[in-house]
Structure 1
């Protein structure tokens, strides 16, 4: 079985590669962008099966189909539940919700093999799927712009440990242990932050899951968070948010 992975996050691509190796599958290529994928498909024989991330660094992966008639079966990978809820209920299409689970990966591979053995059609209407995806796609913020004197600085969300409010203002705290004022309230950030990455633990804080250094039991069934660099004030997960927080980190 010839397999290709298209995934813009290299650690995620390497992880999927290792997981496939455990099932005796050695991907013939790992591609990281729309442009790189288009070039590869123009110059190589199409694989049997394609693991395709939806959101790539230079656009939606469906742009590949605008340039190349893909002949491969496709298993989509996505971090967005909204995609899974609607777009992947179509016949003979499977999806894997990131982070990918071993059992779900095995199930998707077996589904593909079974479709092959029974000679069922593994094609699909890409235009229909593209329409469903783009209609439900929620564009989360990838970066924030802050003003420093006469200069503007762009900060990628991956470099943000937390957002916090103080004296009726909202700040970003970054991994280099600096804080910047932004022109938004925490309420306005609710719709702008990717929920897999950020969680609002209280009225005062949104935290990045990758910035959490320690979680400590606290009074009144609450939790205290220790981040990698932010130490200005205590970050307490409010009691009514503890259950959702535990689900978020699990």
Structure 2
């Protein structure tokens, strides 16, 4: 079975790809914009199943269907609420609200497998959809964290955090004032909570704030070393397989 993911937030796309792999399903292609998707569909055999984000960086993903006759099943991945989605007159298999839950994904895949023999091409009522999306819902990202300091709770604004990193099975936030705070979360969970234009996961161990980057230098094995404004506790290295995406993210 062939699967593609259309999602403009690359960390979210990669997370979904890993979740599908855990279900023994492989999404070999990831597309990130309306324009890129249209070109891909015009030049490639259509997949069996599409995981489709509603709002992409250059427009609504429904514009893809206005240009290309898509002959694939669709599972929507979206931050839109249930009531708006109930009004979509389309032949989608299911929808998944972000952040995507593993159990919900497994249920949606099961629905696809049950209905796949009967699945026809997607049809959309664009007039109804566009009326619903005149004022699209803005994605809400984490603005602050609450951390325990002794017997007290302290609020840390997201803009004050230079980086997040994992160490000894804990996840820490490092702030501009040079302090570390232990968080009750994981780097994987942060992928759905951090503004993707501001924070980037450069390795399995580090997330960095673009505004905290002071310098970047070449490092061994085609990697990059990041110099942050305040964080000096250990080397901050961009993993080799993420260097290209990281450079794209910077621009």
TM-score normalized by the length of structure 2: 0.56
Which structure's CA Rg is the greater one? 1
Runs of 4+ in 1 over 2 A off after TM superposition: 82-93, 119-125, 130-133, 210-219, 223-226, 228-231
Aligned length: 162
- Alpha-carbon deviation of 1:132? 3.2
What is the distance in 2 between the residues matched to 1:14 and 1:214? 28
- 1:133 equivalenced with 2:133 (yes/no): no
What is the distance in 2 between the residues matched to 1:70 and 1:43? 12
SS for the counterpart of 2:118 is coil
SS for the counterpart of 1:28 is strand
What is the distance in 1 between the residues matched to 2:29 and 2:107? 22
Residue of structure 2 in register with 1:214 after alignment: 147
What is the distance in 1 between the residues matched to 2:65 and 2:92? 18
Aligned alpha-carbon RMSD (Å) = 3.0
Asked whether the equivalents of residues 75 and 108 of structure 1 are also in contact (C-alpha less than 8 Å), the reply is yes
Asked whether the equivalents of residues 215 and 226 of structure 1 are also in contact (C-alpha less than 8 Å), the reply is no
1:73-92 to 2 correspondences below 5 Å: 73-81=73-81, 85-87=85-87
1:18-97 to 2 correspondences below 5 Å: 18-81=18-81, 85-87=85-87, 93-97=93-97
What is the distance in 2 between the residues matched to 1:215 and 1:122? 53
Gap regions ≥5 residues in structure 2: 161-174, 176-192, 194-251
Gap regions ≥5 residues in structure 1: 141-192, 198-207, 232-248
What is the distance in 1 between the residues matched to 2:150 and 2:82? 33
1:8-19 to 2 correspondences below 5 Å: 8-19=8-19
Residue of structure 2 in register with 1:120 after alignment: 118
- Alpha-carbon deviation of 1:125? 2.6
Residue of structure 2 in register with 1:155 after alignment: none
Q: Residues 218 and 225 of structure 1: is their aligned pair in 2 closer, same or farther, counting only changes over 3 Å?
A: farther
What is the distance in 2 between the residues matched to 1:102 and 1:84? 23
TM-score normalized by the length of structure 1: 0.56
Q: Higher mean Cα deviation, 30-39 or 75-84?
A: 75-84
What is the distance in 2 between the residues matched to 1:44 and 1:131? 28
SS for the counterpart of 2:75 is strand
- Higher relative contact order, structure no. (Cα contacts within 8 Å, ≥ 6 residues apart): 2
Q: Residues 28 and 83 of structure 1: is their aligned pair in 2 closer, same or farther, counting only changes over 3 Å?
A: farther
Q: Residues 107 and 54 of structure 1: is their aligned pair in 2 closer, same or farther, counting only changes over 3 Å?
A: same
